[in-house]
Amino acid sequence: MAIIFHEGSKEFHIYNEEISYIIKILDNNQLGNLYYGKKVHDRDSFSYLLEGKLRSLAAYIFEDNYELSLQYTKQEYPSYGSTDFRYPAFEIKQENGSKITNFEFKSHKIFKGKRKLEGLPATYVEDDNEAETLEITLYDSLIHTELVLSYTIYKELPVIARNVKFIHKGKSTIILNRAMSVSVDFPDSKFEMIHLAGAWGRERHVKIRKLEQGTQAIYSMAGASSSEHNPFIALKRTNVDEFNGEVYGFSLVYSGNHLEQIEVSTHDMTRVIIGIHPDTFEWPLSEGEVFQTPEVVMVYSNCGMNKMSQTYHELYRTRLVRGQWRDKVRPILINNWEATEMEFTEKKVLKIAKAGKDLGMELFVLDDGWFGNRDNDKCGLGDWYVKNFKKLPDGITGLANKVEGMGMKFGLWFEPEMVNKDSDLYKAHNDWIIATPGRRSSPSRNQYVLDFSRNEVVDYIYSLMEKILSEAKISYIKWDMNRYITECYSSAENAEFQGKVFHKYILGVYNLYERLISKFPYILFESCSSGGGRFDPGMLYYAPQTWTSDNSDAVERLKIQYGTSYVYPIACMGAHVTSVPNQQVGRVTPIETRANVAYFGAFGYELDLSLLPEQEKAKVKEQVEYYKDHRELISKGVFYRISSPFEENITTWIVVSKDKREAIAAYYNVLNSANEAFRRFKLVGLDDNKRYIINGDGNRIYHGDELMNIGIIIDEKEFCAKGMDFSSVLYNLTQID
């Protein structure tokens, strides 16, 4: 790994064993990009890659020299209107109304390691030798503003993490109308765009689009990263599959409004810009003020989609997730939500916990409905203390003690950012919600969003949570967020502040998380937003796992978990076995298949176990034991997608331990059909030269190369619910050499 500055050619070459990224200080002192892709040898100059010629209608930077026009120059952090008419990476409105800027190279710094981003989530290093960082400072001498572009390359991974800082030193205030985290210009447009789109209950479905001249974008302006569009896109070459071909991934480490835009220019170049959504953002900077963008993690793969995903998995699991839970296997939980919703008593939930304990589960989670006067979704949010002692006679402390007394850990649900009008909090502070004066405040799930852009609001919620967490033995928190932000306005502030509210809000959420995880480092946090509405890298920095979707149907989950795995480690995906008929889609699937899908995640149960027939209880007990035996492999192994639920009736995937000694391959057959063809399941990721035993059966020992090139012969007798829909089978492979 190295970052080299070639003084003569004024070029930076950022590279490791897998990737190269080359930046040039152009003749006008702005920054151009010469190359991003598979590693190439270093040389003193790559300036032969500069392309320029006289083109009709193009405007040029210099007189009498028709070479440099930004219209077709690949740039690092482009602005609009000074020969380039494409969408820019940033826009600064100045005192005289102009938006034209000229940021020129001023200095650079190369150092080992990686800086923290103040108040924002970001990937990190544990040892400075793991990564190297280049910071390039640009300066606009008319407005006296500096731009610091930061690039960190990891030694062992094909990753460059980028962010941008604006430092304003001028006397007059400037307004940032757009401050994207990255812009990358590619020399051609022979790509397809991949993104993860959806809705509540069908989050992160894989979508693929062709690129055409013009722009296409995904985004959220909902105040959360959203179920609709995950803050991630990839550009892939058209021949790419899971195992072959060139892919560029871009993942924004942020949980608020975002924009991922791709523009193909008239000369078939592709520009990617990613960052905070500019349409809901306006950030004034006075003298001495700084604005820091979130980070974008760029991953390059020349071995298809799996390699890109595995890179994200490794980085996010080990250098984004933090704290005591990062390297620990996660407890198997039993959550009461689908069993009782808000209608429970202490007796009822203790019965569920006890049934879970008897079957080997380790953590009981009390979901929504325990606080204030919360018996339905019209009331109680904001009052994070027990008021209804009929429901919980000994409060949370008493219940937690009883659960602990059973030998289980206790977890609790919160929705810290929200308030109901029917609550003590709203009665005392009805001006604490996000609402525009004189306009309707639109309810959603009968609740309103607290103005987390205000410190006193965050402080108050912290004080309530801190109290209960200090008093009761709480080992886990499920942090929910069940509505988006409408009529965005902070009534505590003046007009100039209003363009800051969405971003300040999410900084407030991060601040509350940071304070809680610092004070209670042993608590395992799981983030949630009506299921997977805020499943993003920003959240993973604070909460090591996220509830993947409220849709827990095993068949639907194949798509949701498959899509989620494009970016996110399976260890971070909350996945529960629930009752049938499934509450979201009404489907009846075998309990084995429900577990066979949920195993590939942070595993748990969410149903009234006491209602299960004895035969199923016995199966659950076996499942719990199975997960305990295999969770180390599942959560830390290398995950490969093999066949896609978006393309086929059969979904397959495999997780292989890093040393290739163990693996679990999963085969899910959604719909059955008559008189089916013979099938073989080709595995991946094993050691060609070692023999593996399948499911401990001495008659089934094969070399890795057989399993990967010939495949396992599928025997329908092995399926759970054979001859029926929604059947599945797991193959446990153990090396015997």
- Running DSSP on this structure, what letter comes out for residue 651? E
Residues 473-512 that bind ligand DGJ (CB under 6 A): 480, 482
Nearer CB in complex with ligand DGJ: 316/547: 547
Residue 528 binds to ligand DGJ (criterion: CB under 6 A): yes
Q: Which member of 368, 383, 417, 553 binds ligand DGJ (CB under 6 A)?
A: 368
State yes or no: is 42 an active-site residue: no
Residues 393-452 that bind ligand DGJ (CB under 6 A): 413
Burial class from Cβ neighbours inside 10 Å (0-12, 13-18, 19+) for residue 3 reads buried
- Closest CB 338 distance from ligand DGJ, rounded Å: 8
Phi/psi of residue 293, nearest 5 degrees: -80, 160
- Binding residues with ligand DGJ: total (CB under 6 A): 11
Nearer CB in complex with ligand DGJ: 341/466: 341
Q: Which residue is at the shortest CB distance from ligand DGJ? A: 368
Please enumerate in sequence order all residues whose Cβ is within 8 A of that of 288, keeping only pairs 6 or more positions apart, or say none: 168, 169
- Closest CB 531 distance from ligand DGJ, rounded Å: 4
Nearer CB in complex with ligand DGJ: 181/420: 420
Alpha carbons 371 and 369: distance in angstroms, whole number: 6
- Closest CB 498 distance from ligand DGJ, rounded Å: 29
Per CB under 6 A, which region of 47-55, 527-535, 584-592, 696-704 contacts ligand DGJ?
Answer: 527-535
| SS3 state of residue 90 | strand
State yes or no: is 550 an active-site residue: yes
728-to-200, 557, 639, 719 alpha-carbon distances in Å: 26, 13, 18, 5
- Closest CB 351 distance from ligand DGJ, rounded Å: 20
Residue 530 binds to ligand DGJ (criterion: CB under 6 A): yes
Residue 364 binds to ligand DGJ (criterion: CB under 6 A): no
Dihedral of CA 501/505/506/510: which sign?
Answer: positive
Outline where 272-359 has alpha helix (H): 304-319, 337-340, 346-358
Residues 25-64 that bind ligand DGJ (CB under 6 A): none
Nearer CB in complex with ligand DGJ: 529/669: 529
Residue 531 binds to ligand DGJ (criterion: CB under 6 A): yes
Tell me the DSSP string of 138-190.
EEETTTTEEEEEEEEEESSSSEEEEEEEEEE-SSS-EEEEEEEEEEEEES---
Nearer CB in complex with ligand DGJ: 130/367: 367
Alpha carbons 276 and 156: distance in angstroms, whole number: 29
Q: Which of 480, 536, 553, 687 is catalytic?
A: 480
| SS3 state of residue 214 | strand
Angle at 479 between CA 492 and CA 602, to 5 degrees: 155
Nearer CB in complex with ligand DGJ: 257/482: 482
Q: What is the dihedral of CA 25, 26, 28, 29, to 10 degrees?
A: 0
Alpha carbons 414 and 423: distance in angstroms, whole number: 15
Type of residue found at 680: R
- Closest CB 444 distance from ligand DGJ, rounded Å: 12
Q: Which of 84, 536, 550, 553 is catalytic?
A: 550
Contact assessment for residue 372 and residue 421, using Cβ atoms and an 8 Å cutoff: no
Rg (CA), the chain: 27
Please enumerate in sequence order all residues whose Cβ is within 8 A of that of 413, keeping only pairs 6 or more positions apart, or say none: 337, 365, 366, 367, 368, 370, 477, 478, 480
Residues 632-691 that bind ligand DGJ (CB under 6 A): none
Residues 329-348 that bind ligand DGJ (CB under 6 A): 337
- Closest CB 533 distance from ligand DGJ, rounded Å: 8
Nearer CB in complex with ligand DGJ: 76/606: 606
The set of catalytic residues is 480, 550
Which residues of the shown chain bind ligand DGJ in the complex (CB under 6 A)? 337, 367-368, 413, 480, 482, 528, 530-531, 547, 550
